[in-house]
Structure 1
């Protein structure tokens, strides 16, 4: 089950379609969805989590807390809507495309994708792009 929670005025328009898309991406990787919670927030909210739980005193667009067990994908994905909007401008993307990339990025982490080395980043980007194409 995928749930969408809001700690800001932002609201998704198409929760059911997004849930179907996320489930499809997870299934295509031979995983199943357990419980994925998206929490949409602002920079202040996510910065506090970043400092308190990860000891990173920086702004970020997404933080994923992974509760995956085996092939059952579960966790909490916190997304700063403010940071996504700024990144969309910087990367010359639409807000929606950047939001979808960040949303699936967290799920891909749960399925073993990493993004610390150049090789890992390349694999993550390829998986993100494939997932984004499946949504369009």
Structure 2
């Protein structure tokens, strides 16, 4: 099950297409979805979570909290809409595409991809690009 919760005035344009896409991404990585909950929130909420659980006093666009290390993904994924919007402007990307990039980034972390070195960041970016192209394929 994939759920979307909104703590801001943001709302995904097409929840069902997004669910199908995330499910396809996970399936192509030989995993399944148990429960993924995306919580779209503001900077203050993510900063509070970052401070409380990770002892980081910085803004971020996403925090992923896994509840299982099995093949079936189970997690809460918090996304700061203001941070994503700012990043989309910074990188010259359409907001909706940047939101999808962040959404799939969280899933890729759950699957085991990392971004803690330059080489890992390149692999993560390539995998994000690959998975973003899947969103635009007619189903």
TM category (shorter chain) comes to: over 0.9
2:50 match: 50
**Residue 4 in structure 1 maps to residue 1 in structure 2:** no
Encode CA deviations 1:45-88: one digit per residue, 9 max, x unaligned: 11111111111101100000112332111101000000000000
**Residue 93 in structure 1 maps to residue 93 in structure 2:** yes
In 1: Cα distance, 2:61 partner to 2:44 partner: 11
- 1:66-105 alignment, distance < 5 Å: 66-105=66-105
In 2: Cα distance, 1:49 partner to 1:69 partner: 21
In 1: Cα distance, 2:67 partner to 2:125 partner: 22
In 2: Cα distance, 1:32 partner to 1:91 partner: 32
Secondary structure of the 1:46 match is: helix
In 2: Cα distance, 1:69 partner to 1:49 partner: 21
How many residues get paired? 136
Structure 2 gaps of 5+ residues are none
In 2: Cα distance, 1:13 partner to 1:88 partner: 17
In 2: Cα distance, 1:2 partner to 1:121 partner: 26
Secondary structure of the 2:86 match is: helix
2:59 match: 59
Encode CA deviations 1:83-113: one digit per residue, 9 max, x unaligned: 0000000001000110000000000001000
TM-score (norm 2): 0.95
Structure 1 gaps of 5+ residues are none
Secondary structure of the 1:39 match is: strand
Secondary structure of the 1:27 match is: helix
TM-score (norm 1): 0.97
